[in-house]
Structure 1
Amino acid sequence: MRRRHLLGSLLLTPVLTACFASGGSEGSDPGGDADGSRLRVALAFPPAENLSPYGADATLLSRLGVTEGLTALDANGAAAPALAESWRRENDRTWLFTLREATFQDGSEVTPAAVAAALTHATEAKPAPAALSGVTLTAKAQRAAVRITTTNPDPVLPLRLSSPSLAVLSPKAYKDGADPVGTATGPFELTKVNGSTSAALDRFDDYWGGRAQASGIDARFIADGTARANAVRTGQVDIAESIPVAQAATLDQATLKETATTRTTSLQLNTRSGPFKDPKLRAAAREAVDSSAVVKGVFEGYADPGAGIYGPAVTWAEGKRVQPTGRASAAKPNGTAVTIATYDNRPELPEVAQVLQQQLQKAGFKVTLEVREYSRLESDALDGKFDAFIGARNSLVDTGDPVGVLASDYTCDGGYNLARLCDKRVDRAVAEADAVADTDERQGAAMRAEAAILGTDAVVPLAHQGIIVGVATDVRGVLLDPYERTLVGTGTRR
Structure 2
Amino acid sequence: MRSPRRRRVVVGLLLAPVLTGCFASDGDSSADDSADGSRLRVALAFPPAENLSPYGDDATLLSRLGVTEGLTKLDANGAAAPALAESWIRENDRNWLFTLREAAFQDGTEVTPAAVARALTHAGQAEPVTAALSGVTLTAKKSGAHQVRVTTKDPDPALPLRLSSPGLAILSAKAYDDKRPNLVGTATGPFELTEVTGTTAATLDRFDDYWGGRAQASGIDAKFISDGTARTNALRTDQVDIAEAIPVSQAASLAKGTRHETATTRTTSLLLNTKNGAFKDARLRAAARDAIDPAVFAKDVYEGYADTGVGVFGPAVTWAAGKRVEPTGRAKAADPDGTSVTIATYDNRPELPEVAQVLQQQLRKAGFEVKLEVREYSRLESDVLAGKFDAHVGARNSLLDTGDPVSVLASDFTCDGSYNLALLCDKKVDRAVAAAEQESDTAERQQASMTAEAAILATDATVPLVHQQIITGVATSVRGVIYDPYERTLVGTGTMR
Query: Relative to structure 1, is the Cα distance of residues 445 and 461 closer, same or farther in structure 2, using a 3 angstrom cutoff?
Result: same
Check conservation: 2:23, 2:481, Cα contact below 8 A.
Answer: no
Aligned to 1:163: 165
Per the TM alignment, residue 178 of structure 1 is displaced from its structure 2 partner at its CA by 1.2
Structure 1 residue ranges, 4+ long, deviating more than 6 angstroms after superposition: none
1:25-58 C-alpha deviation (Å, 9 max, x unpaired): 3799xxx996100000000000110101100101
Instruction: Report the CA distance shift for 1:189/1:21 in structure 2 as closer, same or farther (over 3 A).
Output: farther
**1:338 aligned residue:** 341
Q: Secondary structure at the match of 1:123?
A: helix
Amino acid at match of 1:325: T
Of stretches 126-135 and 175-184 in structure 1, the one that deviates more from structure 2 is 175-184
Find the counterpart in structure 2 of residue 145 from structure 1. Answer: 147
The answer as to whether partners of 1:20 and 1:481 remain within 8 angstroms in 2 is no
Which residue, 346, 360, 372 being the options, matches 2:363? 360
* CA distance in structure 2 between the partners assigned to 1:202 and 1:153 by the alignment: 40
> Who is 1:109 aligned against?
110
Structure 2 counterpart of 1:190, from 193, 204, 213: 193
Which residue number in structure 2 is paired with residue 46 of structure 1?
Answer: 47
Selected match of 2:403 from 400, 405, 423: 400
Kindly provide the CA deviation profile for residues 85-143 of structure 1, in whole angstroms up to 9, marking residues without a partner as x: 00000000000000000000000000000000000000000000000000000000011
Find the aligned partners of 2:102 and 2:329 in 1 and give their Cα distance: 53
| TM-aligned CA deviation for residue 179 of structure 1 | 1.2
What SS does structure 1 have at the residue aligned with 2:469? strand
In structure 2, the residue matched to 1:12 is none
Q: Which residue of 1 aligns with 2:11?
A: none
Summarize deviations over 1:382-435 as a string: whole Å, max 9, x none. Answer: 000000000000000010001111000000000000000000000000000011
1:426 maps to what in 2?
429
Shift of 1:481: 0.1
CA offsets, 1:224-278, max 9 Å, x none? 0000000111111000000000000111111001110000000000000100000
Residues 117 and 141 of structure 2 are in contact (CA less than 8 Å); yes or no, is this contact kept in structure 1? yes
Contact kept in structure 2, 1:279 and 1:456, CA below 8 Å: yes
Q: Take 1:27 and 1:121, find their aligned partners in 2: how far apart are those partners?
A: 33
Residue in 2 that maps onto 1:218: 221
Aligned to 1:202: 205
Equivalent residue number for residue 438 of structure 1: 441
CA deviations on 1:296-317 (whole Å, 9 max, x unpaired) are 1110000011000000000000
State the Cα distance separating 1:22 from its structure 2 match. 9.6
Q: Which whole-Å CA distance do the structure 2 matches of 1:440 and 1:124 have between them?
A: 32
Q: Is 1:23–1:65's contact at 8 Å kept on the other side of the alignment?
A: no
Partner-residue secondary structure (3-state), 2:300: helix
Counterpart position of 2:287: 284
Structure-1 separation of matches of 2:68 and 2:161:
16
**1:295-374 matches, cutoff 5 A:** 295-374=298-377
The separation in 2 between residues aligned to 1:417 and 1:379, in whole angstroms, is 11
Distance 1:438 1:389, change over 3 A: same
Secondary structure of the residue aligned to 2:91 is strand
Residues 413 and 422 in structure 2, CA contact (< 8 A), matched pair in contact too: yes
Residue 23 of structure 2 contacts residue 492 of structure 2 at CA under 8 Å; is this kept in 1? Answer: no
* Amino acid across the alignment from 1:42: A
Unmatched 5+ stretches in structure 2: 1-13, 25-32
2:416 maps to a residue whose letter is D
Q: Is the 8 A contact 1:69 1:168 kept in 2?
A: yes
User: What are the ranges of 5 or more consecutive residues in structure 1 without an aligned counterpart?
Assistant: 1-17
CA distance in 2, matches of 1:220, 1:102: 29
Correspondence for 2:29: none
Amino acid at match of 1:299: Y
SS at match of 1:91: coil
Letter in 2 for 1:426: V
Query: Contact between 2:22 and 2:478, CA under 8 Å: does it hold in 1?
Result: no
User: Residue type of the partner of 2:58?
Assistant: D
Distance 1:186 1:297 in 2: 40
User: 1:133 and 1:302 mapped to 2: Cα distance?
Assistant: 32
Deviations 1:317-352 (A, max 9, x none): 011000000100000000000000000000000000
Number of residue-to-residue matches in the alignment: 474
1:20 to partner: Cα distance: 5.4
Q: Deviations over 1:54-86 (max 9, x none)?
A: 001010000000000000000000000000000
Could you tell me which amino acid in structure 1 is paired with residue 99 of structure 2? T
**SS of aligned partner of 1:448:** helix
Distance 2:354 2:15 in 1: 34
Contact 1:288 1:359 in 2 (8 A): yes
CA RMSD for the aligned pairs? 1.5
Alpha-carbon separation, structure 2, partners of 1:171 and 1:92: 30
Does residue 473 in structure 1 map to residue 469 in structure 2?
Answer: no
The AA in structure 2 aligned to 1:25 is G
